[in-house]
Every structure is written in C-alpha cells, then in structure tokens.
Amino acid sequence: MQDEAQVSGKAARGVYNRVVKRLLDLLLALLALILLSPLLLVTALAVKLSSKGPVIFKQKRLGRDGKEFNFYKFRSMVVNAEQTGSGVYSGKGDPRVTRVGRFLRASSIDELPQLINILKGDMSLIGPRPPLTYHPWPISDYSPYQRHMFDVRPGITGWAQTHGRKDVEWHRRIELNVWYVEHVSLALDLRIFFLTFFKVFTNADNANTGETLKK
C-alpha cells in the first residue's frame, strides 16, 4: 500500500509539474508583464540614465537537465563587475553596485526580466534558483543526488530562498533544492510564494554575508 501511494504521489507530481505548473507559469508571467509594464519601463529608463551599459544583464545559467540558458536581470552593477572586486560575491556597500542598482536589489525589482525567461520556457515562477555555469562548481562536478535539482525548471524563487536566501551555504542550498523537487506540489508552491513575498517585503537575508561555499 505504501509503495502504491508513493507511485501515485510521484505520478501526481509529474502531471502537476509538466502540465498544470507550466500553464500557471505562462498565465501568471504574461499577466505580470502586462500589469507591471509601466514599472518595467521606468526601471529600464532609470538603469539607462544612471550608468553606462545595457539595461538588461545577461548571464549563462544552468537550467532544466543542466542545460545552459541566458538568464535576464535588470543591470544593477557596473559593466564587467564580475572581473573586479570580489567576483561573484557582492556584499553590503559593494562599490560595483550602482545607486539605482542598490534600490533594485533591495526591492528585488532587478529580477523581473526573468518573467521573459518563464515565457521562453527557461524558468518557472517557483523552483530551484539557477546556478552559474561555473559556480559553485561545473555541472560535471555535481553528484548524482545533487543533479536532481535540475529535474525541474529553475525558478525566480524557491524553497532554498525561503530558508535564508543569500546566506545559505551551497551544499545546504542544493539539499533544499532537491527536497523541493521530490515534494513539488501546488500547495508547496503557494507556500513558497507567500513566504517569498514576506522575505521581499521585509528585505530579509538579501545581502551576502560572505562566501557561501565551503572549501
């Protein structure tokens, strides 16, 4: 009976993830883009006028099945920031972050262009955050267990982000991501959505406190 329940639960999660979740992503992302279009336009203008460089920051990330895709954000740092300073880590008072960028990061408005990633099929509203292609390590260095985090589309927010956001150590972050993949459901996604709203509203855990990768 227990095996049957596990199989049934896995099948239900599969249907939700392949069909229902994707439909909800498309509808909500399209609705958000329409409703937020004035904010998006104002933000784009503010980024363009505040510093030299493109409005949209593009970066290669790892998505579903470990495939690379172009990840979009409003640019919040100076051009070529990763080649200077502390690299991928950006702490409080980082001089590479522009004045407009500080507000965008604090409010998480910089993440809104990922709605385009959702429409393209690269991402979901809820799912593991997509890691860089080289950090915390290349895809070839993930263990078979860790690779399960790539069984679903990455998300704008996820289970790990509701458990500390930027100060969670990477091994722990991946454990939380894998747990999400194994328990994905509409109820869990709704819980993550409302927890994320609280995190963004209070700006909790939204700054790196140091390197989050154990040597």
User: How confident is the model at residue 204, as a pLDDT?
Assistant: 64
Q: What is the DSSP string of 130-194?
A: PPBSSSS--GGGS-TTGGGGGSS--EEE-TGGGGTGGGS-HHHHHHHHHHHHHH--HHHHHHHHH
pLDDT at 201: 75
pTM of the model: 0.86
What is the CA 6 to chain-centroid distance, rounded? Answer: 29
Question: Does residue 92 have a pLDDT over 80?
Answer: no
Instruction: Kindly indicate the confidence band of residue 90, based on its pLDDT and cuts at 50, 70 and 90.
Output: low
Separation of alpha carbons 151 and 61, rounded Å: 15
Residue 215 has pLDDT above 60, yes or no: no
CA angle in degrees (0–180, nearest 5) for 202-206-207: 140
Amino acid making up residue 158: G
Torsion sign (Cα): 42, 91, 160, 194: negative
- Residues 14-23 have pLDDT tens digits of 788 788 999 9
Q: In this predicted structure, what is the pLDDT of residue 80?
A: 82
What would the mean pLDDT of 2-27 be, rounded to a whole number?
78
User: What pLDDT is attached to residue 93?
Assistant: 73
**Which phi-psi region, left, alpha or beta, contains residue 108 (left: φ > 0; alpha: ψ -120 to 50)?**
left
**Would you state the pLDDT for residue 206?**
59
Question: What pLDDT, in 10s, does the model give residues 161-212?
Answer: 998 867 789 999 999 999 999 999 999 999 999 999 888 877 665 555 555 6
The model's pLDDT over 155-166, given as tens digits with 9 standing for 90+, comes to 999 999 998 867
pLDDT at 213: 63
Residues 33-63 pLDDT 10s: 999 999 999 999 999 999 999 999 999 999 9
Q: Which residues pair with 69 in a beta bridge?
A: 61
Reported as a single tens digit per residue, the pLDDT across 103-158 is 999 999 999 999 999 999 999 999 999 999 999 999 999 999 999 999 999 999 99
What's residue 179's pLDDT? 97
